[in-house]
Chain A
Amino acid sequence: MSKIIEVKNLSFSYDSGAKDSKYAVQDVSFSVGYGEIIGVIGHTGSGKSTLIQHLNGLLKPTAGEVLLEGKNIWDEPKKIKDVRFKVGLVFQYPEYQLFEETVFADIAFGPKNMGLSGDELKSRVENICEVVGIRKEYFEKSPFDLSGGEKRRVAIAGVMAMQPKVLILDEPIAGLDPKGRRDIVSMIKNYREKFGAAVIIVSHNMEDMAVLADKLLVMNGGRLEIFDKVYNVFSQGARLNEIGLSVPTVTKILYLLNEKDRNIRTDIFTLDEAVKYLCGYGAGDAHA
């Protein structure tokens, strides 16, 4: 399968030039296929945010390279803006970047920078709002009158409106209530289904990662610790604990149950599956 993004031996230091420079990201290599959802997890300060800012050219690697559709994004530094339209990056707490008078105008900011105008711009914004469920009555409201969760949805839609082929989100659900979280997660799913984009999500919520992601990228102290299928990552509970992470809560419960009854499986990571398994388990037990 061909890859949309390839990262090769990427290293980055915030104070490059200083003699004893410390790397925020060191010798990281991985690749992302078309339409894949990658979850990025890691302890605070492990270099997640630094890593993803390289993918759309906000940071330039100290060493190594980033290939977008097989082409080094820094081959033509003048065209780095085009890279930013193809690789949309939603920062942490994106609601703090809203600035326009109306929701519509704010979502239109990105597409406008791409050179769209008039009807094309209008249909672009309306289209994305339909996909992510922002209703028309909101268009003329001031973004500052919205609730926290709504603001964040508008801000994310502002990046999605550029229709990037790769959508990157830095802790998109941090600090939201359960409903706000569900809204954002379904927004991301809808966007990916509609546009077939690859998605990279940084998150601390292991439950959501287990449901959403195809693969997990685990960062530890600036280095890539594990990059593998969700199943293979969460089966290494001890290793995750060691670097300050954990398996999803349901899996922890299964581990505790397993101490009482060695037959109980511990390789289930989503709540739905665990419920199904445990309900069936009693029945199977009686049968045996």
Chain B
Amino acid sequence: MTRMLKDITFGQYYGSGSFIHRLDARTKILLLIFNIVFLFLAKNYYSLALCTVYVAFVLLLSKVPARMFLKNIKTILPIIVFTALLNLFYGGGGTVLFTLFWNLTVTTGGIYRAVFIAGRIVLLILISSLLTYTTTPNDITDAIESLLSFLRIFGLRGAVHVLAMMMTIALRFIPTLVEETEKIMNAQKARGADLENGKLFDKIKALIPILIPLLISSVRRAYELAEAMECRCYNGGVGRVRMKRLRFSSLDLAAALFNLLFCGGIIILNILL
């Protein structure tokens, strides 16, 4: 169980200093949204193939090892296979290719849907994990704050800052909490707590000795952090300046142009073929 907690990789930043790492986090978020939209706009096999080539290209560009991406795919592989199979056999449409037992028929429409569902999910996961691998959690939250700053015109500036700060703090404390959980689990195991065996109800009951100390220490930590922040005159976002500022550069322009090229390709392939 302790191992299991360790294996969940949070804040999976993998620094390799590639071209993609050096892009502005805002560019990466916007382009990610843009790419996801176009993944769903791809209508035929040709445009899906273009999407695959595009994703493969940017993954290579990131210099993040392939096994890091494969790890992400592996965890949800059963879900992908299941949805693909479901789409393959139900819904029909198109010409019937062949029939298996129990009237299960494989049609061209079924294959189309199965390929598209599986392909889109896989590409979606790959391209999204690219963001977390190439951007530090702090940069992501800064970028979100900056992107949402237009809400200022609705008088929501403080709220945006508070949200972004909450995200930063939450991300920062995940490893701390994992460590704390392991410690408390070990301490209760040393008192003979049984976390693995027993019926469902017993297992839920066995969580109480872990959750209560964890909750109490989180509240304690929150108070301590709040006090420490106040001691350094933190009073929300008003008048705050940054040490590390996000800056667009010519790299971002290049990335945006490259993306336009890709999107143009999808549209052309969708229309022509």
Contacts and interface: CB of A to CB of B under 8 A. Distances in A.
B230 to A, nearest CB: 23
Interface string A62-98: 0000000000000000000100110011110010111
Given A91-B183, A91-B186, A144-B216, A158 B209 contact: no
B186 A113 contact: no
B192 interface: yes
Contacts of B208: 99
Contact of A58 (B189, B212, B217): B189
Contacts of B184: 96-97
A88 B190 contact: yes
Nearest to B192: A113
Nearest to A78: B197
A144 B213 CA distance: 10
Q: Is the interface of B mostly helix, strand, loop or mixed?
A: helix
A91 B192 contact: no
B216 A85 contact: no
A110 B187 CA distance: 11
Q: Is the interface of A mostly helix, strand, loop or mixed?
A: helix
Find the residue from A53, A56, A99 having the highest chain B CB count within 10 A. A99
Contacts of A85: 192
A94 B187 CA distance: 8
A12 to B, nearest CB: 14
Chain A, interface size category, equals: 20 to 34
Given A81-B194, A91-B183, A113-B194, A96 B213 contact: yes
B83 interface: no
Contact of A114 (B187, B188, B192, B212): B192
Nearest to B206: A113
B193 interface: yes
B186 A162 contact: no
A110 B191 contact: yes
Contacts of A162: 191-192
A209 interface: no
Contacts of B193: 109, 113
A85 B191 CA distance: 7
Given A58-B189, A90-B190, A144-B216, 13 more contacts: A58-B190, A85-B192, A89-B190, A91-B190, A97-B191, A97-B213, A99-B208, A99-B209, A99-B213, A110-B192, A113-B191, A113-B193, A158-B191
The 7 closest A-B pairs by CB, nearest first: A113-B192, A99-B212, A97-B187, A110-B191, A89-B190, A91-B187, A99-B209
17 contacts: A58-B186, A81-B192, A85-B192, A91-B186, A94-B187, A96-B184, A96-B217, A97-B187, A97-B213, A98-B213, A99-B208, A99-B209, A99-B213, A109-B193, A113-B191, A113-B192, A158-B191
